[in-house]
Amino acid sequence: LRRHRVEVSVELRKAKKDEQILKRRNISIHLKEESPSLGQDRADEIIQLSLEEIVQAVNGDDTQLQLLATQATRRILSRHKDPPINQIIELGIIPRLVEFLGRADSAALQFEAAWALTNIASGTSEHTRAVVQGGAIPALISLLSSPHMHISEQAVWALGNIAGDCPLYRDALIAHDVIPPLLALVSPATPVGFLRNITWTLSNLCRNKNPCPPLDAVQKILPVLIFLLRHEDRDVISDSCWAVSYLTDGCNDRIQVVVETGILPRLVELMDSPDFIIVTPALRAIGNVVTGTDQQTQEAIDAGVLAVLPRLLRHSKPVIQKEAAWTLSNIAAGPYQQIQQIISCGLLPPLVELLDRGDFKAQKEAVWVVANFTTGGTVDQVLELVRSGVLKPLLNLLLVKDSKTILVILDTISNLFLAAEKLGQTEKLCLLVEELDGLDKIEDLQNHENDMVYKAALNIIEKYFSGEENTDLEPQTGQDGLYDFSVEKQDFNF
C-alpha cells in the first residue's frame, strides 16, 4: 500500500517535470542575424532566388538549377531568425526534395535536400508531419548508408527530428528498420561531431512513453549505448545517459531490461562526474531505476549509489539536490534492509542538512525521504533517525504553505509516535516536540484551511497532547539506554 502511494506521487511529480521540460524545448540557440553568406560556395549565393524561381527550378529538369534552388531553400531555412518554414511547405516542394534525396548522381543535391528537410522537420509537429507525409522516412533511411559521410550525418539529423516529434513517428522509423544502419555508423573511428548527432538521434528513438519504444528495438540499441557511455566526449556521454534515463522511465519490465545489461555501475560512476551535464541525466537514470522493484533498487545500491548520494545532496545546484533527494526517497521506501544501508552509508547527516537549509523543492523531497523512512523502517531505525536530529528541521517545515507537504510531515510525526509508543517513550517524544516548538505549530495547524491538514493535526493533538499533562513526567529509563529518547534529547541540545 505504502509502495503504491509513493509511486503514484512519483508519477505525478514526474509528469509535472516532463511538462516543464516540454515547455523549455526548442529554446536552444539565439544568435544574431547571420551575415549574408559565408562558406565556400559564396559565389553562387550572390544570386538571390525568389520563391517562385525556387519552385520553377526545383520542378525543372536542370540538375544545376535544382541544386541552386535547393541550396537557396536550405539557406533560407537555416538563417537564425524566424525561418519561413510554413511558406516553404506551402510551395509544395517537399516531395521534390524527398526525390532529390535519392539522386545518387549529385551528392551535393542529396546533401542540400537532406539539410532543408532537417530544418523543416525541426519545426512544429505539423511541419514534421509535412516531411513524413512527403515520404521522407524511407529515403532518409537509405541515405544513412551513403558513401558520403556528410550526407549520412545529415540524414541522421533529419531522422532525429522526426523521431523526436512523437511516439508514432518514432515507431514508424523503427518499423522502417532505421536501427541497423544507424547503429552501423557507430565505430571507434566515427568523428566526434558525427557521433554526437547519432547519439542524440538514438536518444530520441528511446524517448517518450505511451507507448514505450518496442522492446526488441531497445534491446538492439542498448549495447551501443553502453559503448557510447564509455566515450570521452561529454556531449556523447550526456546524451547517452539521457537515452538510458528514457528507457528506465517506465514500467519495471523496462527497468529490468536496462538493469540486466550491467550498466548500473557505469551510471553511478557518471553520477559522480564533476560535469553537470553528465550528472543530471545519470542521476535521473538511477533515480528511475530505484522506482522499480526491491531487487532492481538493490542492484542500484550494489552499484554504489548510496556512496555518491551524500555529495549530490550537498551539490551546489538545487536541481541536483532535489533529484538526489527524490532518488533517496525511493530507496527509503524499500525494505528495512535497504533502510539500514542508508543509515550505514552515512546519509542521515546530509539528509538533515538538506531538510534544514536546502533548496525548497529539495526540502520537499527530503520530507518524502523521512516519511518513507518512518513508514518502512524498524523502531530502531526510526530511533536512529530521530537521534540524527531530523525532528527540528522537520517541525520547522510545518510553516510552509504547501499543504501536501504539511500532510506528509504530520503523517511522519504520527509514525514517529507509533514507534515511540512501541518503546513506551511517548511522553519523551511529546516533551521533545514541545521543546522544539513543534506543539505550537501543530496546534496552529488546527486552524489550517485545508480540512485534511486540520484533521491530521487534530488527530495528533488529541492522541498525544490531550488531557492534563502528566505530573509524573519523571524520565523513565528504558530497559536499556539505547531506547531512551532522553539520550537523543541531549543530542539535540548540543
Residues that bind another protein (CB under 8 A): 21, 24-31, 34, 38-40, 75, 77-80, 83, 115, 118-119, 121-123, 128, 154, 157, 160-161, 164-165, 193, 200, 203-204, 207, 238-239, 242, 276-277, 279-281, 317, 319
For another protein, the closer of residues 207 and 231 by Cβ is 207
Q: Using an 8 Å Cβ cutoff, are 251 and 215 in contact?
A: no
CB of 122 vs another protein, minimal distance in Å: 4
Between the CA of residue 223 and those of 159, 163, 230, 261, 324, what are the distances in Å?
21, 20, 11, 8, 27
* Cα dihedral value 248, 252, 257, 259, nearest 10: 70
Give the shortest CB-91-to-another protein separation in angstroms. Answer: 18
Distance between CA atoms of 16 and 9, rounded to whole angstroms?
11
Residue 143 CB, nearest approach to another protein (Å): 15
Name the minimum Å distance from CB 275 to another protein.
9
**CA atoms of 402 and 248, how far apart (whole Å):** 30
**Based on CB atoms, which residue is closest to another protein, 85 or 352?**
85
- The least CB distance from residue 263 to another protein, in Å, is 19
* Rounded (to 5) percent helix, strand, coil in the chain: 70, 0, 30
| In the complex, minimum distance from the CB of residue 169 to another protein, in angstroms, rounded to a whole number | 11
> Residue 208 Cβ, how far from another protein at the closest point, in Å?
9
Smallest gap from Cβ 150 to another protein, in A, equals 11
Min CB(34)–another protein separation in Å: 5
Residue 47 CB coordination number (10 Å): 9
What span, in angstroms and rounded, lies between the C-alpha atoms of 49 and 60?
15
Q: Which is nearer to another protein, 6 or 202 (CB)?
A: 202
- CA nearest 460: which of 429, 494, 423? 429
DSSP per-residue string spanning 223-276:
HHHHHHHT-S-HHHHHHHHHHHHHHHSS-HHHHHHHHHTT-HHHHHHHHT-S-H
* Nearest distance from C-beta of residue 154 to another protein, angstroms: 8
Q: CB-wise, 92 or 193, nearer to another protein?
A: 193
Cis previous bond, 211, omega within 30: yes
Return the number of the residue (6 or 159) whose C-beta is nearest another protein.
159
Query: Terminal CA-to-CA distance of the chain, rounded, Å?
Result: 39
When the beta carbons of 119 and 375 are compared against another protein, the nearer one is 119
Taking the CB of residue 177, how many other CB atoms lie within 10 A of it? 12
Please list, residue by residue across 204-232, b when 16 or more beta carbons sit within 10 angstroms of its beta carbon and e when fewer do: bbbbbeeebbeeebbebbbebbbebbebe
Query: Which residue reads 509516535 in cell numbers?
Result: 417
From 354, 246, 259, select the one nearest 301 (Cα to Cα): 259
Q: Kindly tell me which of 26 and 447 has the beta carbon lying closer to another protein.
A: 26
Residues 6+ positions from 176 with CB-CB distance below 8 Å: 137, 138, 141
Q: Nearest approach, Cβ of 244 to another protein (angstroms)? A: 13
Q: Which is nearer to another protein, 241 or 445 (CB)?
A: 241
Nearer to another protein, 1 or 38 (CB): 38
Of the pair 28, 471, the CB lying nearest another protein is at 28
Nearer to another protein, 97 or 460 (CB): 97
